[in-house]
Structure 1
Amino acid sequence: MTGSTPQTLGTDRPQPVDVHRLEVTHVEQDAYTVDVRGHRLRVDQPLEAGGTDSAPTPTELFAASLATCVAFYAGRYLHRHGLPRTGLRVRTEFTMATDRPARVSALRLLIDPPPELPEQRRAGLLAVASHCTVHNTLHQPPEIAVELAQ
């Protein structure tokens, strides 16, 4: 959701004009729903972590966010150059840090381009895809405030 005037999110601090909102609500045990722009996602934890394994974990969605952003940018590059997107795939692996704080320590993304991608377009595809919004955000982290609502 966007607005045309500064907004606040439970604080008196003005927020940027282009504020996007979502809401997370507890469902049961370790499961939550995420409502964003009329869409609903669910997150949970695996059985071994105390959840019911009814949905991906927030950390898996984090990795999926990066992978889908890379795929979107790669797809737009292909479309812009009149190339088919059929067969485009992004495979992702991530590892967790072994020390504290708990966090993802490494992500690896492998772009499988469409089979008919010309050799001269491969470097351009990689350059564009590796500068997606989520990737850029990880390289230039945003300010994050976690606060209790009043």
Structure 2
Amino acid sequence: MTNSSFNWREALWRLTKAAVVTVLIALGSMVIAVVLGLPIAVGQWRGPRWVRMICTLYVEFFRGTPVLVQLLFLYFGLPVIGIAMPGWLTALVGLGLNYAAYESQVYRAALEAIPKGQWEASYSLGMSPLLAFRRIILPQAFRIALPPMTNDFV
């Protein structure tokens, strides 16, 4: 029972390397989600009908299918059409795309929580819709979205 040939040092080294890769993939997928989540939320919130439809389909697909199925499709399905990625990149992209759907709903809810009077006040100051969004609406929405974002990151 005590004559074990198991190498604890080697096992610990491999587990440490795997933990580093896991953290890097998690951080990278969070970055992808944050970057993709806002345009999806804005498109679903204020976009033309066709943009809203595409964004809604994206969100419903990625939230409605298991992430494991999505990862398996990316890893085994994309090489069939000529797009081959290493495993770590497949995980990074797949988790980022999946998490972007969830993140977009956090942003959309935060944007919808801003009172209409904020838009009207910014227009009365002579701001364009884009300037009002960037300088008035988005900072307030970010403050509202921050707690759910940190909850999702954990």
| TM-score between both structures, scaled by the size of structure 1 | 0.27
Q: Which has the higher strand share?
A: 1
| TM-score between both structures, scaled by the size of structure 2 | 0.27
Q: Which has the higher helix share?
A: 2
**Bigger radius of gyration, 1 or 2?**
2
**Higher RCO structure, 1 or 2 (CA under 8 Å, sep 6+):** 2
